[in-house]
Amino acid sequence: MEVRNCKSCGRLYNYIGGSYKNLCPNCVNSMEDKFAEVRDYIEKNRVATMPQISKDCDVRMEQIERWVREERLFFSDDSPIGIDCESCGVTIKSGRYCPACKNKMTNVLSDLYHDDSSRSDRAKTDNDSERTKFLSREFIDKVNKQK
């Protein structure tokens, strides 16, 4: 068990994990209430800006952004709010990466962990044809020498 100081109210509490690393259970509860409030607010004010939400709901912008990164908050397409893809910097509405970067990462992962059979088949075929070319050249050389 780990005893920590709550960042919000300063009380000591037993840290048991979870997404709010620096908050005591009391403050986590009020933060969850805040989250519900912000979510409702966004639903009703689809074009609200980040400072506006922060001011009207009395929540720090960093906290709102964290919820967005955790994919707990979603903004509508007509919302002016966007955050940067952590990889390429393109504007996204939720999460950490844009769809393109997510795709790229999934591909890298599947390359690493799964045998992509169509790809390795193609690679093998390429190698075979290279070898065939080489062999036939060698064969031709041999034939030429024998002449």
Sites of contact with Zn ion (CB under 5 A): 6, 8-9, 24, 27, 85, 87-88, 90, 98, 101
CB of 6 to Zn ion, least distance (A): 3
Neighbouring CB atoms inside 10 A of 59's CB total 18
CB of 8 to Zn ion, least distance (A): 5
Which is nearer to Zn ion, 26 or 120 (by Cβ)? 26
CB of 58 to Zn ion, least distance (A): 16
Which residue type is seen at 87?
Answer: S
- What six digits make up the tokens of 122? 């193609």
CA distance 121 to 127: 10
CB of 50 to Zn ion, least distance (A): 20
Nearest to 81 by CA among 120, 42, 35, 34: 42
User: How do strand 91-92 and strand 83-84 relate by DSSP bridges?
Assistant: antiparallel
Which is nearer to Zn ion, 13 or 67 (by Cβ)? 13
